[in-house]
Amino acid sequence: MSTAFLFPGQGSQSVGMGHALYEQFPAARARLEAVDAALDVDLLALMFGAGDEGEAEERLKQTEYTQPALYAHSLAALVVLEQRGLRPDMVAGHSLGEYSALAAAGALSFEDGLRVVRRRGELMAEAGERRPGAMAAILGAKDAAVEAACDEASAAGEGVVQPANYNAPGQIVISGDKAAVARATEAISGRALPLPVSGAFHSPLMDYAHDGLAEVLDDVTVAAPRCPVYLNVTAEPTTDPQEIRRRLMEQLGAPVRWAQALRRMKADGAQRFLEVGAGDVLQGLVRRTLDDVETIRGAGTPEEIEAAVEA
């Protein structure tokens, strides 16, 4: 039975993430401590909610902290799963989670991946400050209708808006300038939910981050992954280091084609989808997109790891 490992992105974080893994598994503790030692912020204190829990929760929502925290949690869980004999046949990650997936597949070293996601988070936060935007989840509308509304709103001259995440059938996130996002949502026959984000991710409003991300990616080694990585930008599998590097750059301003990637993974033989890291968002998207597959919440807590091993 082929197993796909899926890695979450922003929105899956929560105070307390990784703490049980840290307490129970020496390998997870070592990996999380290595993250803390490599950064100039006490990331574990934010993740575990030490001190003022409300303050930790607010800081953990900030992009520059969210991204390394999610990466650290996923990779800490991964090392425990690997010790228990679970390894993926294919991997994918949602937005930030693509870096976790690449590290899981050996395309990025753990240390290089951490360095890139920390810088990526900083750059995306800065881009959001320089050019504030908005994102909204559109529920119950067809892809083509959302795309057409975005095109019309962008052509109206109030800024740009485009699909940012094709999450599941009937669930698309749009992103761009505030006025353009508002105009697009008014034109769509579906429910629109504004998202509490610090920037218009996966849209041209992230252009400011491009050069800085290119600089840090140029300074790391991208190796051939041990298994296929299904890319956000194309929804297609690859084991080509140069394509991975190129698509990571494109991913900043391009839509995450998550539903399309899930369909391709199933077509390529995936029968089990194991979510590695915080939350259970990706399991829900799998269930909304695919029939006749198994979903497993694999690594948020020791209990979930045990259940994944026994599945």
| Annotated domain spans of the chain | 2-129+205-310, 133-198
pLDDT confidence of residue 53: 64
133-198: same fold as 2-129+205-310? no
Of 100, 154, 202, 203, the catalytic one is 202
Helices 97-104 and 241-251 cross at an angle (nearest 10°) of 170
Q: Which element (helix H / strand E) includes 307?
A: helix 302-310
Q: With pLDDT > 90 as the criterion, what percentage of the chain qualifies? A: 77
Q: The pTM is what?
A: 0.95
pLDDT confidence of residue 115: 92
Does 237 or 46 have the greater pLDDT score? 237
Q: What is the CATH number of domain 133-198?
A: 3.30.70.250
Give the tens place of pLDDT for each residue, 54-77.
777 888 788 888 899 999 999 999
Q: Assign 52 a pLDDT band (cuts: 50, 70, 90).
A: low
pLDDT confidence of residue 298: 63
Of 12, 73, 74, 95, the catalytic one is 95
Q: Pairing relation of β-strands 229-230 and 237-238?
A: antiparallel
Three-class secondary structure assignment of 66-97: HHHHHHHHHHHHHHHHHHCCCCCCEEEECCCH
Active site residue 210: no
Active site residue 19: no
Top CATH class, 2-129+205-310: alpha beta
Give the tens place of pLDDT for each residue, 281-296.
999 999 999 999 999 8
Spatial separation of the C-alpha atoms in residues 252 and 224, rounded to whole Å: 22
